Structure formats: structure tokens, C-alpha cells
């Protein structure tokens, strides 16, 4: 196609941020730090490699997700533990905070709730920043590895993609049929995954995660959460996923309860206040 004569001028128009976040309440990270200081562990679960596990995180508690044995990526789904209709909204979280999340960012729930489900309060990989390929860690751009795309591209019926792992774990946790559970599995937060878009074709890429045992991502639960996480069959996601080829490791999810009185000035966020008449 021939370029119009003013092509350069049109391209030179400066972009504007779609969703400026200056009006959002700023998370009180100092408050969360004080609450974390004498917090005690109240629960934990090991997520086996190529499988998923669930844990409940009461509002006002912390969820610590750790690498324990080797570099490994986790695909995380979050639900309101009291209402599975409210779940993590990866796309809007991306629109608000960018393609990757770190300390101070929030994980938002779907419509009509659209409120912070969790706040990222610690990230030992925050040093990584954005590498020379445009890659960064903890993305909200990937969807989750799934058997449908695997079948589409390569054929076959692999049952340990994150999508299937999350489906089985949610089914077990809430006594749902596989069909009911599958319909509730949603686009994930890719914990520890290092990803970006190629500069030439804008394709989604992954590269070996910089995560090492001892690294962790820690969330503060703003509402009662059911966390479901799959230890991805891609392992560190440096080469392949959706197969048994990659080296995989388990991961750890821990729940910590703040000391009494340390959250006196914290209140759970209300559901979104939009009137929902849609103008009728
Ligand atoms: Zn996966």
C-alpha cells in the first residue's frame, strides 16, 4: 500500500496513556510492611510440578509465592473465595499497570466488581527491570498454556497444561464438575515468567526466567481469596511448554497472618460504584 503524503506527520503524533492512574488511591506500602513485620504463617501448600494447587487467603493476610527447588514459572488464578463470579481480570490489570507487575501494583477483579483483589507488596525480582529484548518478569499478557492451542498448533492431547491443571484443582477445591470449573478458569498472572513482545513482529515471546530458589512474589489479600496456581509444564519457560519436555520444579504458596492491631487503618475495598443502569 502506498503511504499517504502526510504519513510521517501522522506517525509523529505523540501517544497518550490510555488509563492514567494518578487518580487511583496509592497503596500504603509502609502499612503493609508494618503488618508483615510480625506476621505468622497460618498455612502453606506445595504446588507439584506440572500440577496445580489451591489455598485460601483471608482478607488482610499475605500470600507468598516462592521458588523452592529450581527456576519455575507459576500460572496464578485468583477468585473471591466467597463468590467465584469475581475473579482476576488480567486484561484490565495490564491496561492499568502495564504488561508486567511488581511491588505497588494491584491485581484487579472482573466486571462489575473491578476492585483490587490483591496488592503486590514484595518482589525479589524487581531488580530485573526491562531487558535488552524488552522482556520483563511477572506478566499479565500471556493467557495460560492450554491444550486447545497445543492441539491447534501441534496436534495431540496434553493434559498438564496450566489450563487443565487449574481446571482440575478448582474442580477439586470447590466440588465443581470439570465443565463448571473450566468455565471459571481465566487468564493468569504469570508469576516469575519472563516475557515480552518481539520488536519486529510484536509476537509474544518468553525466555528463561531469572527466578532462583529463594525468590518470591508476595501479595496482600484485599478481599478473601481462593488462589489457584499451576507449576507450568514449561518449567522456567526458556524453551517449550505444553509437553513433558522441560525440566520442572514444584513451587510453594504460603499464607501469613499479620500481628493483631497492625492493620487498624486498612479497610477492604468496596465493589465498584458504577450504578449499572447502563443509562436506561
Ligand atoms: Zn503453563
Q: Alpha helices, DSSP H only, in the chain?
A: 7-11, 29-37, 90-97, 147-154, 162-174, 178-184
Q: What was the pLDDT predicted at 254?
A: 98
CA 274 to ligand 1 center in whole angstroms: 35
CA 97 to ligand 1 center in whole angstroms: 22
**Lowest-confidence segment of 18-27, 66-75, 213-222 by average pLDDT:** 18-27
pLDDT category of residue 15 using cuts at 50, 70 and 90: very high
CA distances 34 to 38, 44, 107, 126, Å, are 8, 22, 21, 20
Q: What was the pLDDT predicted at 90?
A: 98
The closest alpha carbon to 89, from 20, 21, 187, belongs to 187
CA 144 to ligand 1 center in whole angstroms: 5
Which cell is 160 given?
498438564
150-208 pLDDT tens trace: 999 999 999 999 999 999 999 999 999 999 999 999 999 999 999 999 999 999 999 99
Residue 244 confidence (pLDDT) above 90: no
pLDDT category of residue 218 using cuts at 50, 70 and 90: very high
Q: How far apart are CA 151 and CA 163, in angstroms?
A: 13
Q: Count of CB atoms within 10 A of residue 51's CB?
A: 20
Residue 237 confidence (pLDDT) above 90: yes
Amino acid at each position: 500500500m502506498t503511504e499517504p503524503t502526510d504519513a510521517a506527520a501522522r506517525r509523529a503524533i505523540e501517544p497518550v496513556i490510555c488509563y492514567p492512574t494518578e487518580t487511583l488511591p496509592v497503596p500504603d506500602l509502609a502499612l503493609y510492611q508494618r503488618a508483615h513485620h510480625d506476621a505468622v504463617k497460618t498455612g502453606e501448600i506445595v504446588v507439584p510440578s506440572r500440577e496445580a494447587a489451591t489455598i485460601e487467603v483471608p482478607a488482610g493476610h499475605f500470600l507468598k509465592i516462592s521458588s523452592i527447588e529450581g527456576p519455575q514459572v507459576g500460572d496464578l488464578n485468583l477468585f473471591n473465595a466467597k463468590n467465584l463470579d469475581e475473579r482476576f481480570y488480567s486484561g484490565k490489570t495490564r491496561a492499568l499497570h502495564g504488561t508486567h507487575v511488581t511491588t505497588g501494583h494491584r491485581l484487579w477483579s472482573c466486571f462489575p466488581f473491578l476492585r483490587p483483589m490483591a496488592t503486590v507488596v514484595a518482589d525479589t525480582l524487581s531488580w530485573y527491570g526491562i531487558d535488552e529484548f524488552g522482556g520483563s518478569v511477572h506478566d499479565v499478557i500471556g493467557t495460560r498454556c492450554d491444550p486447545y492451542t497445543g492441539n491447534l498448533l501441534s496436534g495431540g492431547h496434553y493434559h498438564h497444561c496450566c489450563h487443565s491443571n487449574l481446571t482440575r484443582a478448582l474442580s477439586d477445591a470447590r466440588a465443581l464438575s470439570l465443565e463448571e470449573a473450566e468455565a471459571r478458569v481465566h487468564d493468569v498472572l504469570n508469576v516469575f515468567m519472563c516475557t515480552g513482545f518481539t520488536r519486529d513482529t510484536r509476537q509474544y515471546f518468553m525466555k528463561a526466567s531469572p527466578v532462583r530458589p529463594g525468590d518470591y512474589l508476595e501479595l496482600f489479600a484485599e478481599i478473601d481469596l481462593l488462589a489457584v496456581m499451576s507449576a507450568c509444564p514449561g518449567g522456567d519457560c526458556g524453551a517449550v511448554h505444553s509437553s513433558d519436555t522441560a525440566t520442572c520444579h514444584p513451587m510453594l504458596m504460603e499464607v501469613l497472618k499479620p500481628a493483631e492491631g497492625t492493620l487498624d487503618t486498612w479497610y477492604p475495598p468496596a465493589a465498584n460504584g458504577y450504578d449499572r443502569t447502563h443509562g436506561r
